[in-house]
Amino acid sequence: MKIGLVGYKGAGKSSLFQWLTGQQPDPSLSHSIQSATAPIPESRFPELIKIYNPKKITYASIEIVDTPGLAPDQHGNSSKLAQLREINTLVIVIPAFNNAEPQTEINKFNDDLVIADLEIILNRIEKIQEQNKRPVPKSEHEKLELEYETLLILQNALENNSPLKENQLSLEQLRLTKGFRLLSGKPQMLIINTPDDEINLNQYQKYSKPDIPLIPISARLELELESMNQTDKLNFLEEMQLTSTDKNLVLKTILDTSGQMTFITAGEKELRTWLIPKDCAALDAAAAIHTDMAKGFIRAEVFKADDLIRLKNERALKAENLIRKEPKDYIIKDGDVLLFHFS
Ligand SMILES: Nc1nc2c(ncn2[C@@H]2O[C@H](COP(=O)(O)OP(=O)(O)OP(=O)(O)O)[C@@H](O)[C@H]2O)c(=O)[nH]1
Ligand SMILES: [Mg+2]
């Protein structure tokens, strides 16, 4: 599951990549995508560490990708856009420094995604029209007809800038659509890269939309703050009346946008989080640890980390009946601690 920092040249993608992953992208590879991982924060760990005193602590991590910046005039963009197709979630970096106007940049970038998608759709439509001029076997013909119909629906949605409703399509058509890896159909969030002397970060919330989370950050300021000790950092922020953006909140929002979440396993040996798709069942969570756990799944024992933190030990949880036995199809919730029984 790749999460890509995308946007125009100089928007601040590589600065954000460095802030989020702690890795500096290699400037000699700036024409291709570069990836690094970032551990997902778990706010309950400090308290859980006190309770279990574990030998080992492991955080699940996400793969973050720095991508080559697009040119505003679209010159030379096609190979860069092609590289974006393998990314699952778009974190769109929008500059608000050097007099850039965020709303204009947001609209323009989304238009560029739609134009790139339309090009693919129209190319494919043309190919099918060519193919249909020659005699084709009946089974082949039916397949092409279905694809053609799907392409026309997609073309219409893209040209009218109307988001595609999944119920417009049959399962087979949805499968075909996934195959096109349309950029405009990927989950999105926005990062507004603000001037580094911006006092009022809240003003940028006006660019958010219901399904598209938005976080304002000054990438350059955050990188500078990283090189300071805690006292200097706080003094500097107070003196300049600036606020720093919480990196944990950014990583959590990215995780959520990508449609994933974590669950916890806990013991004296290891305290650990695991990455799973949102709303997945206990059986899939077991498989995230080991396929054998899923194959021989008997049941899951589940409790809420927050209950344990409140009651201080597992014995007290048991006494209050807060450790539940759950079957394969139990849906994992945020903050669940799981123990799997398997044969
Ligand atoms: N004023 C200001 N400049 C910034 C900020 N963030 C980044 N920059 C500057 O913008 C320039 C580009 O930043 P990068 O992080 O390399 O941008 P990029 O999106 O990776 O650029 P490309 O890789 O060329 O697409 C650098 O000179 C940064 O110092 C910011 O918050 N404020
Ligand atoms: Mg860059």
Pocket of ligand 1 (CB under 6 A): 7, 9-15, 30, 69, 97-98, 193, 195-196, 218-220
pLDDT of residue 5: 98
Output the CA 15–ligand 1 centroid distance in Å. 6
Ligand of minimum distance to the alpha carbon of 196: 1
Domain count, the chain: 3
Domain end residue (candidates: 256, 290, 318): 256
Structural domain includes residue 10: yes
Structural domain includes residue 6: yes
d(CA 322, CA 316): 9
CATH of the domain at 199: 3.40.50.300
Structural domain includes residue 264: no
State whether 171 and 192 are in the same domain: no
Determine the 3-state secondary structure of 90 from DSSP.
strand
Phi, psi (deg, nearest 5) at residue 321: 60, 35
State whether 63 and 208 are in the same domain: yes
Tokens representing 29 are: 């590879």
DSSP bridge pairs for 273? 264
Output the CA 116–ligand 1 centroid distance in Å. 25
Structural domain includes residue 32: yes
Structural domain includes residue 135: yes
Output the CA 5–ligand 2 centroid distance in Å. 9
For strands 260-265 and 214-217, give the pairing: unpaired
Structural domain includes residue 285: yes
State whether 97 and 196 are in the same domain: yes
Output the CA 41–ligand 2 centroid distance in Å. 25
CATH of the domain at 286: 3.10.20.30
Domain end residue (candidates: 184, 199, 228): 184
pLDDT in tens, 203-215: 999 999 888 999 9
pLDDT of residue 166: 67
Which residues hold their Cβ within 5 A of ligand 2, which is an ion? 13-14
Domain end residue (candidates: 184, 215, 241): 184
State whether 192 and 167 are in the same domain: no
Output the CA 122–ligand 2 centroid distance in Å. 31
State whether 88 and 194 are in the same domain: yes
d(CA 271, CA 34): 30
Ligand 1 site-directed mutation target among 5, 8, 15, 64, most atoms within 8 Å of CB = 15
State whether 88 and 197 are in the same domain: yes
Sign of the four-CA dihedral 66, 67, 68, 74: negative
Structural domain includes residue 36: yes
State whether 193 and 97 are in the same domain: yes
**What are the residue ranges of helices labelled H in 206-268?**
219-226, 230-240, 247-257
State whether 208 and 96 are in the same domain: yes
State whether 214 and 179 are in the same domain: no
Structural domain includes residue 91: yes
State whether 311 and 294 are in the same domain: yes
Sign of the four-CA dihedral 170, 186, 285, 36: positive
State whether 176 and 195 are in the same domain: no
Output the CA 250–ligand 2 centroid distance in Å. 19
CATH of the domain at 111: 1.10.150.300
Ligand of minimum distance to the alpha carbon of 219: 1
| Domain membership of residue 126 as a residue range | 103-184
State whether 204 and 309 are in the same domain: no
Q: Which atom of ligand 1 is nearest to the CA of 8?
A: 25
pLDDT in tens, 110-167: 999 999 999 999 999 999 999 888 888 888 888 899 999 999 999 999 998 877 776 6
> What is the block-wise mean pLDDT of the chain (343 residues), using blocks of 10 residues?
96 97 92 94 96 97 96 90 94 96 95 93 94 84 91 92 75 89 94 94 92 95 95 96 95 96 96 97 96 95 98 94 97 97 93
pLDDT of residue 168: 78
